[in-house]
A = this chain, B = another copy of it.
Amino acid sequence: MMDHPLLIKTMLNRAYKLFPKKEIFSRCLDKDFRYTYGDFYERVCKLANILDHLRVKPGDKIGTFAWNTHRHMELYFAVTCCGAVLHTINIRLFAGHLQHIVNHAEDKLIFIDDDLVPQIEEIADELTTVEKYIIMTDQESIPETTLSPVFNYERLVGNASPSYDFPDLDENTTAALAYTSATTGLPKGVTYSHRSTYLHALTLCVPDAIGISERDVILPVVPMFHVFSWGFPFSAALMGSKLVLPGRNLSPPALCELIEQEKVTLVPGVPTIWINVFQHLESGAAYDLSSIRYILNGGAAISKTLVEAFHKKYGIKILGTYGMTEASPVVLTCPPKSYMDEWEEEQKYELESKQGRLLPGLEMKVVNENGEEIQWNGNEMGELLLQGPWIASEYYHNPEQSAAVFKDGWYHSNDMVTVDGEGYILVQDRGKDLIKSGGEWISSVDLENKIMAHPAVVEAAVIAIPDQKWQERPMACVVLKESERGRVTEEDILNFLKDKVAKWWLPDKVTFIDEVPKTSVGKFDKKLMREQYA
């Protein structure tokens, strides 16, 4: 067989050659923008010429600090196909972490959306490797800025040549770099190769993963600075799927309007988004969302209550997904098996609120504290270990953290899970979020889902509080619907839980809060909460 590499270039060429008429829609700050993969390819070539002109060399790290727009999409392909390394910087990190990761990655250039310039200005003095800043704006001129030297993306690209001969790289060439959103310590970097990116993008497309085709219209709500928007921009180009890039406005009305207007079929995002969209629909806002094949939930668990309510009230199916920065990111998706069509409704919704089963191409092991594989019976709990061509083997320039997590050829996820008899995984907790009460484990995620089934509850986070007798005990922090605040009591919540969990799982305390504190990627910040309530 030919020694033919798996490259991101293959995805770009396919979009250009077979799907030049298909559209990319992009919501910019000042106006909506629409073009085709044909136009896109030409702009990617122009951008590649500009990268050469800016003396970008193979292996150079190129930072992006941007929303989900067509320009970010152009950077995804131009940077990687040139042989440089795309570093998507999480715009939600605080200044100390931002500065750390830009310096740690040794970014040479940073491409910045115009409204995000102030965040980079704030840290610019501390950046040791950045040579130039390129601002992406719809305006003729670039905004007033202290950054220097600074260039206008459109002016650079507008004048460049529209053809480029992308190199034939080794498939193991590093294509991209992303940092985890650390809840403890500093963010850790993960590098992705052309091979891993290609295999991940292709595998997402098979029906038993998500089933992405040219017929799909994909609206990635998940930011392009969160592990490549879970890989959807790459899968879209490979399959010629229309892309709808929502820019910075992720409010429920803006999203619902876009879905209706562009007839979106797949919408990936985190549960907070779907909780907000659901509440917006419940408030009486009416849209035609019938084009949706799946809401793709990821980043954190979604409650069975919400899965069921979306389906019953609005005919919308939710497909669970699960992954992490270390896994490119998708590891599990949750399509039912054909014979589950015969299952009871209740059992189906329970399945659909799980994280799912392993994607083809990966290997997994779920082990208990003694390193023994657990039974697939839905009860035994263990840590999920992973292997595969899109699983990291180390953290970037970080041997100490790497040694703790990548052991014996396996990535140790620190996620505690159960596996049912059909191979579907339910994440019970992050290792450190599990509550150990009197020698027995309590799953905070499970308790949260049960509390969130209460009709007055919007969100609930359960954390461990130290206990003299039991070592740890659960405490619930509950956000009520505005109309219910002051009306629902701790006792109501405990009464509601009574016939749903074992007696010793009942939280020792229920406290009502206005909002669950979240990390920069929208997950519950339990570390912060534990500190607050310790």
Binding site for B on A (CB under 8 A): 1-6, 10-11, 13-14, 17-19, 21, 172, 191-193, 195-196, 199, 202-203, 205-208, 211-215, 238-240, 328, 335, 337-339, 357-358, 360-361, 363, 387-393, 409, 411, 422-423
* Known interface pairs A192-B1, A423-B17; A213-B202 also in contact (CB < 8 Å): no
The answer to whether B339 and A195 touch across the interface, beta carbons within 8 angstroms, is no
The answer to whether B4 and A214 touch across the interface, beta carbons within 8 angstroms, is no
How far, in angstroms, from A4 to B1 measured CA to CA in the complex? 19
The answer to whether A339 and B21 touch across the interface, beta carbons within 8 angstroms, is yes
How far, in angstroms, from A211 to B1 measured CA to CA in the complex? 24
The answer to whether B202 and A208 touch across the interface, beta carbons within 8 angstroms, is no
Query: Among the interface residues A328, A363, A390, A411, which one has the most CB atoms of the partner chain B within 10 A?
Result: A363
How far, in angstroms, from A328 to B1 measured CA to CA in the complex? 9
Distance of A335 from chain B, by nearest CB (Å): 8
The residues of B that contact A391 with a CB separation of less than 8 Å are 1-2, 4
The answer to whether A211 and B203 touch across the interface, beta carbons within 8 angstroms, is no
The residues of B that contact A338 with a CB separation of less than 8 Å are 214-215
Distance of A189 from chain B, by nearest CB (Å): 13
The answer to whether B388 and A4 touch across the interface, beta carbons within 8 angstroms, is yes
How far, in angstroms, from A240 to B339 measured CA to CA in the complex? 12
The answer to whether B202 and A18 touch across the interface, beta carbons within 8 angstroms, is no
Known: A18-B422, A202-B206. 18 other contacts (CB 8 A): A1-B196, A2-B393, A2-B409, A2-B411, A4-B363, A4-B387, A5-B389, A6-B361, A17-B423, A18-B357, A19-B337, A205-B207, A206-B206, A206-B212, A208-B239, A208-B240, A211-B213, A239-B360
The answer to whether A206 and B208 touch across the interface, beta carbons within 8 angstroms, is no
The residues of B that contact A199 with a CB separation of less than 8 Å are 6
The residues of B that contact A17 with a CB separation of less than 8 Å are 423
The residues of B that contact A1 with a CB separation of less than 8 Å are 172, 191-193, 195-196, 328, 389-393
Nearest-CB residue, chain B, relative to A341: B215
The answer to whether B2 and A387 touch across the interface, beta carbons within 8 angstroms, is yes
How far, in angstroms, from A6 to B360 measured CA to CA in the complex? 11
* Known interface pairs A215-B338, A360-B202, A423-B18; A2-B392 also in contact (CB < 8 Å): yes
Distance of A379 from chain B, by nearest CB (Å): 18
The answer to whether B207 and A212 touch across the interface, beta carbons within 8 angstroms, is yes
How far, in angstroms, from A409 to B196 measured CA to CA in the complex? 24
Nearest-CB residue, chain B, relative to A14: B360
The answer to whether B214 and A393 touch across the interface, beta carbons within 8 angstroms, is no
* Known interface pairs A387-B2, A387-B4; A13-B213 also in contact (CB < 8 Å): no
The answer to whether A206 and B239 touch across the interface, beta carbons within 8 angstroms, is yes
The answer to whether B203 and A208 touch across the interface, beta carbons within 8 angstroms, is no
User: Can you offer 10 A-B residue contacts whose CB atoms are under 8 A?
Assistant: A1-B192, A1-B196, A1-B391, A4-B363, A4-B389, A5-B389, A10-B360, A14-B358, A205-B208, A207-B213
